[in-house]
Chain A
Amino acid sequence: MRLLSSYVLAGLSGGVWGFLSMIVIGVTLTLITGELAIPQVGAAVLASALGALFTHLWESKTASTGQKYAPAAIILLALLAATLGAPFALPLSVEPLWQLIALVSFVAITYWANRQTLAGTPKGNLTRYEKEVVFLRVAKGFGFVIFTVMVALPFYVMVMTSLKSQQQLLGNPLDLSIDLSGGISGMFRSYVELFTQFNFGTYLTVSAIVSVATVILTLLFSVPGAYAVSRLNFPGRSWMSRSVLLIYMVPAIVLVIPLYAVFSQLGLRNSLTGLLIVYPATTIPVALYMLQGYFKGLPAELEEAGLMDGLSRLGVILKITLPLSLPALASVSLYVFMIAWNEFLFAFMFLDDPDIFTLSRGVVSLNSSEVPRQHLMAGAVIATVPVLGIFLWFERFLVQGLTAGSVKG
C-alpha cells in the first residue's frame, strides 16, 4: 500500500472538514448567542476523520441504509465522547436550543461533505487523477467557506453593530445577536437618531440627486461622443478611441489641488454645481469607452437603411441606435451611478456645508470619538443599502456591461 492510499486520504479530508466546520460553527454560535463557544477543534477533527473513514469503507452500490447513515452517528458519538459531552465547551444549560442546532449542523455538514468528497473514490491505492479529484473537492469546499465568510462577515458585523446600543457593544463585543428585548424601535434607534438629529434625510436626498444628475449628464455627453467614435470617419478616430481610456487612469488626487484652488476662486467649491462638473468629467471617458464598444457591435446596415429612408443623423441615433443599445445604456448608467454614489475624495474635499453633504461625506463626519460607533455603522448601512439594492436588482446588466462592453479579453 502506498502512503496516500484512499483510507489515509479519507481520514485527512475528513479531518480538514471537521476542523473547518467546527471553527465556522463555533464562531457563528458565539456571534449569534453572545456566549463564548470555544471550538473543540481536536475532537472535531477526530470525529470527522472517523466519519470519513467509515463513509469510505462502507461506500458501495449495495450498501444498506444502516451503512449509509451510520457514519453520521459515528461523528456524533465520537464528538460527544471526545469532548465529554460539551462540544462547544459550554454547559448544556446555556442556550440549549442553539447548541443543539449547532451540533446537528456540525454532524450534518461534516457527514455531507465527507460523502461528497469521497463519492466514487476507489478503495486502496489511487492514481494521481483520483487523488487530485479528492484534493480539489476539499480545496473547493474550503474555498467556498473561506470566501463566503470573508465577504459576508464584515457586512454582518456592520448591520448587527448598527442595531446595538452603546452598553451592549462595550459589555460584550462578541454578542452580535438580534436583541428583541428593546422592541423594534430600540433596535433601530441609531437609524432614527441619524435621520432626526444628524440630517441623514438630507444627505440621502443630496446623494440621490447628485448621482442621478451625474448619470444623466454623463449619458448626454458620452452618447454622441461614443457614436462619433464608433460610426463616423474622421482623422484622429483611432487615436481618440484609444486615448479615452488613458484619461481614466489619471489619478484623482493629482486633480484635487488645482481643482480645489480654482473652484475656491470661482465659488464653486462648496457647492453641488462643483460636484456636478467634476463627477461627469471623471465618468464620461469610461462611459464613452463602454458605449463605443457596444455601438461598434450593432449592425451598421440598420442605420444606413434609416439614413436612406430620410432620417437625419440625430433621428438615426434616437430611433435606431439608442433603442438597440438599451442594455448597454442600462449597464453604463448603473456603473456611473455606483461611481457617483460611492465617490468620496471630491465630496470630502469640496463640501463644508452640512446642508449639501452627500452620504459619503456625511458618514465621514460621524467618524469622531464623540459619535458612538453604532451610529457610524448605521450610517454605513444607509449608504450601502441603496446602491446594493440597485446593484442586485440589475446585476445581470452590470456584469454583462462591465465584462463584454469594456475589456474584451
Chain B
Amino acid sequence: MSAIADQAGKSVSTAGESVSQPPKGAGPMQKREARLAYTMLAPTFLIILAIVLGPLVANFWISFKPVELGDLRAPKVLINERVKGKPKQAGDPATLEYRVRNSSQKNSIADAGFTDILPPGFTALKLPNACSLNGINIQCDLGTLEGKAREKLVISGTVSNEYLALRKPEKASKPVSYGDADSVLTNGTFTLDNFRRVFDSDEFWSVLRVTFYYTIFGTVGALVLGLFAAQLLNTSFKGRGILRGLFLFPYVSPVIAVAFTWVVLLDPFSGTLNALLTKMGVLAEPVNFFGQRAVDLHLFGTSFEFPLALSTVIAFEAWRYFPLSFLFILARMQSVSTDIYEAAEMDGATPMQQFWYISLPQLMGILSVLFLLRFIWTFNKFDDIFLLTGGNAGTRTLTVDVYEQGFALSNLGAGAAVAVVVFVVLVTFATLFIRFSTKEEGL
C-alpha cells in the first residue's frame, strides 16, 4: 500500500514541479471523516459503557461492600397520620397524631423530618417542640433518626364545621418526609469479608472444580457432536434441508422450554425415560438423573463414583449447543474443494484416511476457534444449570454460585465477590484466547 503511494507521489512530483508533496498528518477531510465515525459510534459506545463496562466496574466496587439485598432500599422516613378524639361538633377538641418511623432496621437518617398541611377546619393549639406552624403549613424537624427508631408527635387543637363536613379530612394532604440517608452502596465503608467468605467456604473449591468439569466436557461434547452431525449432513441427499433444520432445534428453542422438557422427560417418578428403562428391564429402579449426586459404578472389579447429576447437565449442554458447532463446521467443510478428495481417491486413500489426513487438518482452524468461543460461553452459562438442578446435587458452578450468594442468601456483596472470581478467570482465558487466535487463525 505505502509502496504504491510512494510511487504515485514520485511520479507526480517528477511530472510537474508545481505539485507539492502530499500533506502529512491528518488533513481536514480525514478529520471530518474521523469525527463522523465517532459520531456514528457514540450511541453504541455510550450504551455499552452504561450497561456493560460501567456495571463491570461497579461489580468490583460492590464486592468490597458489606451490602445485602435489603440495603438496596434506602432508609426512608415513614409517616402515619391520624386524628384522635372523635370530635362531634364545632369547637370540640381533637388531636392530630403523626407516627414516624425509620424504615431501616440498622441505618440512621440524618436531618429527618416532614412537612404537611393541616386538615381543613383544624386549628392547632399546642405543638410539640420539634414542630413549627406557618399558616396552615406544618413542619417538624426530628434531627437524626436511628435505625428502628419510632416517634410519636401529637398536635392538639379544635375543629370547625368545615372539618366535620368532610370524611377523613386528615387524608386531604399527605405528609412529605425528608432526610439524608447514607446508602451502603455509595458510602466509604469497605470490607474484605465478602472475599474471605467466598474463599474460606469449603464449597468454593468444589464449585470451582465442578465449573471446570462442566466447561471442558460441555465444550468438548458439543464440538464432537457437532463434528459428527456435520459429517452426516455433508453429503447431499433428499431431506437434508429438513434434517439440518431439525438439528438446529435445540439451539433455537428457548432455554426454559428445553430445560423443563428434559426435567419432565428424566423425572424419576413420572418421566417417560425412566418408565421406559425400568419397564423394559434395563434398569432395576428409576434413576434420579438431576437429583442424585453420584452413583457407584462397578467396572472390571473396580468401583468408582460417577457424578450423575453433573454428567446429565453436561449432556444437556452438549445437546443444546452442538447445533452451533455443527453449523460452523458444516460451512467450513462445504468450502473445501472436492479436487483434493478426488486426488486422494485416485491415490487409493480410504474414507477414514481421507477424513483423518484431509478433512480434519482443514477443520482444525474452525475447531480451535469454536473450542475457545464455546469454552468461554459455557463457562459464562447460568440459565441451563439453574433451570435443570438449581445448582443442587453437585452441579453448582461459579455462575450459579453468584446467584446463590447474591440473591438466594441475599448477600449482594458476596455474590459480587464470586462474580469477580468469574471475571478474573474469564479474563485469563480471553488473554490466552487472543494470544492463541492471532497465531492460529486471526479471527
Interface residues of A (CB under 8 A from B): 27, 30-31, 36, 38-39, 128-129, 132-133, 136, 140, 143-144, 147-148, 150-155, 157-158, 161, 169-170, 173-174, 176, 220-222, 224-225, 227-229, 232-235, 237, 240, 245-247, 249-262, 264-265, 277-278, 280-282, 284-285, 288, 313, 338, 341-342, 344-345, 349, 359-360, 363-364, 367, 373, 376-377, 380-381, 383-384, 387-388, 391-392, 395, 399, 402-404, 407, 409
Contacts and interface: CB of A to CB of B under 8 A. Distances in A.
Contacts of B37: 228-229, 232-234, 237
Contact of B265 (A154, A278, A360): A154
Given A143-B231, A154-B258, A251-B380, A403 B350 contact: no
A249 B58 CA distance: 18
B270 A170 contact: yes
Contacts of B443: 245, 407
A144 B232 contact: yes
Given A225-B40, A254-B402, 4 more contacts: A251-B380, A251-B422, A257-B416, A380-B260
A155 B251 CA distance: 12
B322 to A, nearest CB: 9
27 contacts: A129-B348, A129-B351, A136-B352, A140-B232, A224-B43, A233-B33, A233-B37, A249-B376, A250-B56, A251-B426, A255-B59, A257-B406, A257-B415, A258-B62, A259-B55, A261-B67, A265-B72, A281-B47, A282-B51, A360-B256, A363-B256, A380-B254, A402-B328, A403-B327, A403-B328, A407-B369, A409-B441
Interface stretch (B84-92, B156-164, B241-249, B306-314): B241-249
B188 to A, nearest CB: 17
B141 to A, nearest CB: 26
A261 B44 contact: no
Interface in B242-292: 243-250, 252-258, 260-262, 264-265, 270-272, 274-276, 279-281
A3 B342 CA distance: 30
B59 A249 contact: no
B34 interface: yes
B383 interface: yes
B66 interface: no
Given A234-B34, A252-B382, A281-B51, A360 B351 contact: no
B257 A363 contact: yes
A296 B328 CA distance: 21
Contact of A383 (B52, B247, B254, B328): B254
Contacts of A258: 54-56, 58-59, 61-62, 416
Given A148-B246, A342-B254, A255 B56 contact: yes
Size bin of chain B's contact surface: 35 or more
A134 B232 CA distance: 15
Minimum-distance CB pairs A-B, first 6: A281-B51, A251-B380, A258-B58, A380-B257, A409-B366, A234-B34
A224 to B, nearest CB: 4
A264 B253 contact: no
Nearest to A364: B256
B365 interface: yes
Contact of B48 (A128, A169, A264, A284): A284
B62 A257 contact: yes
Contacts of A367: 260
A110 B423 CA distance: 53
B136 interface: no
Contacts of B73: 264
Contacts of A404: 331
Nearest to A363: B256
A133 B351 contact: yes
B363 to A, nearest CB: 8
B352 to A, nearest CB: 5
Given A173-B270, A380-B257, A277 B51 contact: yes
A221 B46 CA distance: 10
Contact of B232 (A147, A173, A364, A373): A147
B331 A403 contact: yes
A261 to B, nearest CB: 6
Contacts of B62: 257-258, 261
B412 interface: yes
B261 A31 contact: no
Nearest to A38: B280
Given A228-B36, A258-B59, A338-B252, A36 B280 contact: yes
A376 B257 CA distance: 9
Contact of A247 (B52, B260, B423): B52
B351 A132 contact: yes
B40 A224 contact: yes
B44 A222 contact: yes
Contacts of A234: 33-34, 37-38
Contacts of B58: 258, 261-262
A380 B256 CA distance: 7
B249 A155 contact: yes
Contacts of B407: 349
B47 A284 contact: yes
B50 interface: yes
A359 B254 contact: yes
Nearest to A170: B270
A169 B270 contact: yes
Interface in B212-264: 228-229, 231-232, 243-250, 252-258, 260-262, 264
A282 B377 CA distance: 14
A255 B402 CA distance: 11
Given A261-B72, A261-B412, A409-B328, A174 B279 contact: yes
B41 interface: yes
A280 B46 CA distance: 12
B40 A227 contact: yes
Contacts of B47: 221, 277, 280-281, 284
Contacts of B275: 173-174
Contacts of A154: 250, 258, 261-262, 265
Given A251-B380, A261-B72, A313-B36, A373 B245 contact: no
Given A281-B50, A380-B256, A403-B331, A161 B43 contact: no
